[in-house]
Structure 1
Amino acid sequence: MWEKLYSKNGLAAKHIAQELIQLDVGEKIPRVSDYSEKLHIGRGTVQSALSLLEEMKAIQLEARGHLGTYLIKKDNNFLSEIAGISPLIGSMPLPYSRKYEGLATGIIESFELTGKKIYLTYMRGGLNRVETVRTMRSDFAIVSKMTAEKVLSEYPNLKIIKKLGVNSYVSAHKVFLADSKEEQVRDGMKIGIDMDSLDQKNLSFAEFEGMNVEYIDVNYMQLFDMLSSKQIDAAVWNMDERRMSRTFKTIDFHSSAAREISEETSEAVIIIDGDREKEILEKWNSVEIDKILEIQESVESGKIIPSY
């Protein structure tokens, strides 16, 4: 049953458990819309979280039609346990490279060294991962510094709590060419671009600005196959994916704007909902960032086997 607390509804159940501790048996609980607004989550998620708490026998509710829903029974000790036991849940990029495998391994093992557990989910697209924080499906998201600064300008309630340093996210971006005989990108070429990846999208637009190229919207996990089959002629990607870097010819950025963006995309940062800063920092502050980076480097160099 505890495994259900690690689902997308589990985090909401944790926070609603904290709210219900404050209510007396016999009281009417807030409306689903009230919880939805206060916790910034969907109504369906609230309903699922309440059902989960009932299923776990932490509470018993009674619907009384237009009068509302009432708290008939509760176990405060159990609610407190649910509210406090749930490990942090983080969202990070798909571990397609040794660098990301190392980052995931470093985070998990560094938390375990402090006696704490952590769960990581893996998702394509920095904006998608940020959305999991905004909708309370994860406690934190790992994105590039560039993506973080972009979303902070749009959502001021979000906050960067940790920076992991240059090259902790990506070693370097370059332009990959399908045809090894080509020396540069030219007008008329088809460029693979993943619109869900803010880093890759902005780098591509900056590098090819003013050129007469055709952008082909693809999932970045398809870039290798699309280049191999020459369905696209070129794509911006990072050098950490060894299969890509060993197979295709690469060229450096010509655009100064792209080179500047590339620097901003090399650093990994931890982004959270600012309203939960104290709660999350209580767990993150016991973890040594240097230890995460040490383990990441060991995985990249092959000294240790990734474990995530």
Structure 2
Amino acid sequence: MFNKKQIAMIGLSKDLLAYQTGDRIDTISSYTESYDTSRGVVQEAFNTLEDEKAIKRSKRGTLGTYLTEIDYIKLWKYTLETISGVSPLPYTKKHEGIATAIYKEMEKNEIPFHFAYMQGAENRIQGVITGKYNFAILSKSAAVELVKDYDVSIAMEFADYSYLSGYVYLYTDENVFDRKKLRVGRDLSSPDHTKWMEILAREKEIEVEYIDIQYTRMVPAIIEGKIDLTIYNKDTVDKPGIFTGVSFREVEANPGIGNECRAVLVVCNEFPGISNLLKQIIDEKEVALVQQEVIEGKRVPVY
């Protein structure tokens, strides 16, 4: 059981995460009403946060009270909560690398943290929207599409090609690109996958029958003859055939594909403090360094 001061500390810390340096904060009276406690308890909670250097306030008379310093990491620790993220299944070195880098940043700042792993960008976004996870890792391309339909935003962006290196077509029939009608595997939970399949149909001027399949079932579907063609993450292809009889061809991409293929962190707009917190915890340059070390085999992935 928490005492009144502890309850006020937890509430204040969560509330103040959403503020920026220079913002005016609510009055003591408003916090007293919000937490159903006394002015003395709220003032004592504020004083503790200042003593611990989580915040610094400046009182400006009738203008109100403003925050002149904020340490989001210290505020988060007073919430007594664990940060949770959701990432794609770590089946490539890039995904292993970025998960490892984020774990390292959390550990460095002594933040309780765990990752969950889930295929499908939209599935991960729904996990964030429902509050199951604090943030999700997506490609920028997918994030740009999903922010149109969900109350989410991009909190952080990493380097070009940090999510994946590009795309390849998978097929078994070497004459597949000469055909005018194709059964194409499509994963509707992935905006990237859907977009590239639609581009194929438009640019190749072919008749397409979309077969909706989970991304992880695409290769078996090719082998079993259920589909003629699909698109796949280039980073999973090490040789001219992933499995016996399956071939690939690189997708011709526009010059801006690197930006689309960068990893981003997406958060729910209902909890703006998470974005502020992640920006203080995670160093983009350090993420790039650790990810590259994992890719080159110089660091053991931890995820």
Give the structure-1-normalised TM-score. 0.67
SS at match of 1:128: helix
Q: 1:238 to 1:22 in 2, by over 3 A?
A: same
Give a deviation string over 1:230-286, Cα, whole Å, max 9, x none: 3222111111113686423222336xxx64785454111111123422344234413
Give runs of aligned pairs for residues 158-307 of structure 1, distance below 5 A.
158-179=152-173, 181-182=174-175, 184=177, 186-209=179-202, 210-242=205-237, 246-247=241-242, 248-253=246-251, 259=254, 262-307=257-302
Instruction: State whether structure 2 residue 135 is matched by structure 1 residue 140.
Output: yes
Q: Is the 8 A contact 2:161 2:259 kept in 1?
A: no
C-alpha contact 1:163 1:267 (8 A) present in aligned 2: yes
Amino acid at match of 1:123: M
The one-letter code matched in structure 2 to 1:249 is S
Tell me the distance in 2 between the aligned counterparts of 1:24 and 1:185: 74
Inter-CA distance 261–81: structure 2 relative to 1 (3 Å threshold): closer
Q: 1:133 to 1:153 in 2, by over 3 A?
A: same
Distance 2:149 2:76 in 1: 35
1:109 to 104, 112, 118: 104
Q: Which residue of 2 aligns with 1:75?
A: none
Change (3 A) 1:249 1:84: same
1:154 is matched with 149
Structure 1 letter corresponding to 2:201: F
Alignment RMSD: 3.1
Alpha-carbon shift at residue 130 of structure 1 (Å): 1.1
Give the secondary structure class of the aligned counterpart of 1:170.
coil
Q: Point out where structure 2 has 5 or more consecutive residues left out of the alignment.
A: 1-9, 16-32, 39-74
Q: Return the letter of the residue paired with 2:133.
A: S
Rounded to whole Å, the distance in 2 between the matches of 1:18 and 1:281 is 12
- Per the normalisation by structure 2, the TM-score is 0.68
Structure 1: unaligned runs, 5 residues or longer:
1-13, 26-79
- The alignment partner of 2:163 has SS state of coil
Query: 2-side partners of 1:160 and 1:95: how far apart?
Result: 21
**Shift of the alpha carbon at 1:154?**
2.9
- The answer (yes or no) to whether the contact 2:180–2:207 under 8 Å persists in 1 is yes
When the two structures are aligned, how many residues end up with a matched partner? 236
- Partners of 2:297 and 2:138 lie apart in 1 by 24
Distance apart, 1:114 and its partner CA? 2.2
AA at the equivalent of 2:247: K
Q: Residue 145 and residue 176 in structure 1: after superposition, are their counterparts in 2 closer, same or farther (change >3 A)?
A: same
Structure 1 runs (4+) deviating above 3 angstroms are 17-21, 80-83, 242-246, 258-265
Judged with a 3 Å threshold, the aligned counterparts in structure 2 of structure 1 residues 18 and 259 are, in CA distance, closer, same or farther, namely closer
Measured in 1, the distance between the counterparts of 2:93 and 2:228 equals 26
Deviation of the 1:21 alpha carbon: 8.3
Q: Distance in 2 between matches of 1:261 and 1:215?
A: 27
